[in-house]
Amino acid sequence: MRFTFLGSGTSTGVPVIGCGCAICASDNPKNKRLRVAGMLSWDEFNVVIDTGPDFRQQMLRHRITDLHAVLLTHSHVDHLYGLDDIRIFCYRAGGRIPIFGERAVLDRVMHVFDYAFQAKAEGGGVPQLELNEIRIGEPFKVLGREVMPLRVWHGSTPVTSFRLGNFAYVTDTNRVPDETLEGLQGLDTLILDALRERRHSTHFSIEEAVEVAQRLEAKRTYFIHMTHDVDHDSVNAALPDNIHLAFDGLELDL
């Protein structure tokens, strides 16, 4: 199994529109961050985690021709609103693509993309979505692989994290409940939210994320969801040896 960082940036992306700061003006490609998303690949299957506004660009960048499932962590714009672009994969597959999320997330999908669920949609094509409700703490199967959904909190917003074997993806959080910490023991690879060096009300700071990563003792940890306050090279160099900043396009063998 392989994991690809499709995007490693926060909701604004980096560079930020209209910003001339040193990071936004940087020519270091690791400081160019599309909205956060990832893709798991095994056998002939590709499974995307979140479909933000940069989803189309991410699929083109990585020359993805087939998509087989989508896991949704929550329904904020930077994680969901590119879902319409899944329709080209539906055409290619000749049918619906399964979408996995908690009930509130699926309800948001049905609201935002209501045209996809109408009996007859006039005009152009629509995404064909097979909605699959998941529940925290209840494992489910995706293309033969078992996935465990675990709860984290993004301020007051519930977010789903996902564990597959010894890999876990934990985005948009500033609080990981004890039962989830227990469920994240024994990891080889942890992907974890780390917004910036300063503290934030709904995201881990880099210092807080380091503390969580060290508590979990994963063999390797990669931070995601960074702002334009984070210079990749200098911040990455100051992290512990087994903790790294992710960057767009990075691929990991799992």
Phi-psi region of 243 (alpha: psi -120 to 50; beta: other; left: phi over 0): beta
State residue 118's pLDDT score.
84
106 pLDDT band, cuts 50/70/90, is very high
* pLDDT score, position 70: 98
The residue assigned the tokens 């940036």 is 9
- Assign 120 a pLDDT band (cuts: 50, 70, 90): low
Query: Do residues 75 and 54 touch, judged by C-beta distance below 8 A?
Result: no
pLDDT value at 121 more than 90: no
Mind listing the pLDDT tens digit for each residue in 126-181?
Answer: 899 999 999 999 999 999 999 999 999 999 999 999 999 999 999 999 999 999 99
**Do strands 157-164 and 37-42 pair parallel, antiparallel, or not at all (unpaired)?**
unpaired
- Convert the pLDDT of each residue in 177-220 to its tens digit: 999 999 999 999 999 999 999 999 999 999 999 999 999 999 99
Burial of 150 (0-12, 13-18, 19+ CB in 10 A): buried
pLDDT at 125: 82
- pLDDT at residue 105 above 60? yes
Task: Give the pLDDT band (50/70/90) at residue 122.
Answer: low
pLDDT score at 123: 57
The pLDDT tens digits for 65-101 are: 999 999 999 999 999 999 999 999 999 999 999 999 9
Considering the chain, what percentage of its residues have pLDDT values greater than 70?
A: 98
**Per-residue model confidence as pLDDT tens digits over 33-51:** 999 999 999 999 999 999 9
Mean pLDDT of 115-124: 73
CA angle 176, 178, 179 (to 5 degrees): 100
Evaluated on CA atoms 9, 10, 16, 17, the torsion sign reads positive
CATH superfamily of 2-234: Ribonuclease Z/Hydroxyacylglutathione hydrolase-like (3.60.15.10)
Query: How is the chain split into domains, by residue range?
Result: 2-234
Percent of the chain with pLDDT over 90: 95
Residue 48 to residue 244: CA distance in whole angstroms: 22
Distances (CA, A) of 132 to 3, 95, 140, 142, 246: 22, 15, 10, 10, 29
CB neighbours of residue 201 within 10 Å: 8
